[in-house]
């Protein structure tokens, strides 16, 4: 990208928040207006993994790191087939300068029809969200709307509460993941992978490929099923266990998933991550509630209450299990977030079931919690 400040000034764009605030910049992505929920992510790296994480569907991601674009975009670091976030807000867009880069960030955003605004005062925007909470917003990059019109569009957008985005972004057909190891080898190294010896079903609510890669590296044969698959659909594959994936939007809206998971409890081992963790909570009779501004980033401290160990984790969620609704005679809280004491992990006291709110696969990192996937294998064996 050649820096031509006059050309940038000729592409003015702005973000309008439902509370009337306006944040201005210039368009560096697709010239497509749209609504979304604005959140901030505190990761210093990994913007490609963030953009391609299906859990960000319906959201505009504000990156707190000021310099974005240096590493470009490449096919090996994608977390899904395409960018899933609804928009991107950054302070400074840089040219790609990395040996693994295959495409510049702006070109990738344009090709994948994702709007983005650079030149934003992201510190001010992050502080505003931190104090007032994640909120509905409208990104105006086409140059056709006044700020007042964009604010109205933000306020009238349905938002994410009560919305099922998982069914929209989930696979529509079942498939078996990567038996030849092409996508599961690290960074194209074609490392030797174990033979598949344990069949599992993964319910896809918006799964990240890093989850599938790590499960494959442990020898699981993974059959991925659509979000709306029933317990009967799952059991028809005779799996040794069931994995509940991450995904976007409101877990309370996925009543079909609550029902399917409820009918699987006690029949085989179950493990969940993020949205899968929240859906498991609903299936066990608990409720979920919204966090003020969510957890989005690579530096969230989580304490394992069983042994006192602290892990630095990657997280991306707006909702959490309400501890007041959890039946502690049946379910144990295994992990808590040290920033706000919210629930980060649960385990059933009678059945082989456990889940975590954070992301142990953590593309691009940290990897403190990666052994979680081995716990699933041990749970099945035991």
Specify the pLDDT at position 190: 61
CATH number of the domain that 215 lies in? 3.40.50.880
**Is 49 within the bounds of a domain?**
yes
Residue 272 CB contacts under 8 Å (≥ 6 apart), including other chains: 243, 244, 245, 279, 280, 355, 356
Both 102 and 195 in one domain: the answer is no
How far, in Å, CA of 262 to CA of 259, rounded?
A: 5
- Cβ atoms within 10 Å, residue 85: 25
Q: Return mean pLDDT, the chain.
A: 94
**Is 21 within the bounds of a domain?**
yes
Residue 153 CB contacts under 8 Å (≥ 6 apart), including other chains: 16, 35, 138, 145
Q: Is the preceding omega at residue 366 within 30 degrees of 0, hence cis?
A: yes
**Is 215 within the bounds of a domain?**
yes
Both 141 and 204 in one domain: the answer is no
Both 62 and 173 in one domain: the answer is no
Mean pLDDT of 161-185: 91
Structural domain harbouring 194: 166-381
Both 198 and 220 in one domain: the answer is yes
pLDDT tens for 218-236 read 999 999 999 999 999 999 9
Nearest to 117, CA basis, from 15, 41, 212: 15
Both 78 and 139 in one domain: the answer is yes
How far, in Å, CA of 122 to CA of 238, rounded?
A: 49
CATH number of the domain that 39 lies in? 3.50.30.20
- Cβ atoms within 10 Å, residue 98: 12
Task: Look at the chain and report how many structural domains it folds into.
Answer: 2
Among 138, 156, 174, where does a domain finish? 156
Both 25 and 103 in one domain: the answer is yes
**Is 161 within the bounds of a domain?**
no
Both 115 and 199 in one domain: the answer is no
Both 101 and 208 in one domain: the answer is no
Among 156, 176, 202, where does a domain finish? 156
**Is 307 within the bounds of a domain?**
yes
- pLDDT for residue 30 is more than 90: yes
Specify the pLDDT at position 193: 86
**Is 342 within the bounds of a domain?**
yes
Residue 363 confidence class, pLDDT cut points 50, 70, 90? confident
Report the half-sphere exposure of 76 (CA within 13 A, side-chain side).
Answer: 15
Among 123, 156, 189, where does a domain finish? 156
Q: Which residues are catalytic?
A: 274, 359, 361
The pTM of this model reads 0.95
pLDDT tens for 174-212 read 999 987 777 887 655 566 788 899 999 999 999 999 999
Both 39 and 81 in one domain: the answer is yes
Residue 105 confidence class, pLDDT cut points 50, 70, 90? very high
pLDDT tens for 75-97 read 999 999 999 999 999 999 999 99
Residue 237 confidence class, pLDDT cut points 50, 70, 90? very high
Specify the pLDDT at position 4: 65
Residues 11-49 as b/e (b if ≥16 CB within 10 A, e otherwise) read bebbbbbbeebebebbbbbbeebbbbbbbbbbbeebbbb
Specify the pLDDT at position 188: 56
Specify the pLDDT at position 371: 87
Both 184 and 149 in one domain: the answer is no
**Is 237 within the bounds of a domain?**
yes
**Residue with the larger pLDDT of the pair 189 and 59:** 59
With residue 128 as reference, give the H or E element that holds it. helix 122-132
Cβ distance 251 to 273 under 8 Å?
Answer: no
- pLDDT for residue 71 is more than 90: yes
Cβ distance 63 to 85 under 8 Å?
Answer: no
The two beta strands, 343-348 and 331-337, are antiparallel
Both 321 and 374 in one domain: the answer is yes
Both 50 and 113 in one domain: the answer is yes
Specify the pLDDT at position 368: 85
Mean pLDDT of 1-8: 60
pLDDT tens for 320-356 read 999 999 999 999 999 999 999 999 999 999 999 999 9
């Amino acid at each position: 990208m050649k820096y031509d400040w006059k050309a940038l000034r000729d592409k003015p764009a702005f973000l309008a928040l439902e509370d009337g605030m306006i944040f201005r910049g210039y368009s560096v992505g697709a010239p497509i207006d749209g609504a979304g929920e604005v959140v901030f992510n505190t990761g210093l790296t990994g913007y490609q993994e963030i953009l391609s994480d299906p859990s960000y569907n319906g959201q505009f991601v504000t990156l707190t790191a000021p310099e974005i674009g240096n590493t470009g975009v490449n096919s090996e670091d994608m977390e899904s087939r395409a960018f899933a976030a609804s928009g991107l807000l950054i302070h400074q867009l840089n040219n790609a300068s990395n040996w693994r880069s295959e495409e510049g960030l702006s070109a990738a955003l344009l090709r994948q029809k994702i709007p983005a605004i650079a030149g934003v005062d992201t510190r001010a925007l992050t502080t505003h969200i931190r104090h007032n909470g994640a909120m509905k917003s409208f990104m105006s990059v086409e140059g056709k709307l006044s700020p007042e019109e964009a604010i109205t569009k933000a306020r009238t957008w349905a938002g994410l509460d009560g919305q099922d985005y998982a069914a929209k972004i989930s696979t529509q057909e079942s498939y078996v993941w990567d038996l030849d190891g092409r996508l599961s080898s690290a960074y194209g190294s074609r490392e030797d992978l174990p033979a598949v010896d344990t069949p599992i079903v993964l319910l896809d609510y918006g799964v990240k490929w890093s989850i599938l890669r790590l499960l494959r590296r442990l020898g699981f044969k993974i059959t991925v099923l659509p979000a709306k698959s029933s317990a009967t659909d799952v059991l028809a594959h005779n799996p040794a266990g069931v994995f509940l994936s991450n995904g976007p939007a409101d877990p309370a809206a996925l009543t079909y998933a609550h029902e399917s998971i409820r009918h699987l409890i006690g029949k085989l081992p179950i493990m969940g991550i993020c949205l899968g963790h929240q859906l498991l909570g609903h299936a066990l009779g608990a409720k979920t509630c919204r966090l003020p501004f969510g957890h989005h980033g690579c530096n969230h401290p989580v304490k394992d209450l069983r042994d006192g160990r602290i892990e630095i984790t990657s997280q991306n969620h707006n909702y959490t299990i309400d501890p007041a609704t959890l039946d502690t005679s049946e379910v144990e809280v295994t992990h808590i977030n040290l920033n706000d004491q919210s629930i980060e992990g649960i385990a059933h006291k009678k059945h082989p079931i456990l889940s975590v709110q954070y992301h142990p696969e953590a593309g691009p990192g940290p990897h403190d919690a990666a052994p979680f996937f081995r716990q699933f294998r041990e749970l099945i064996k035991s």
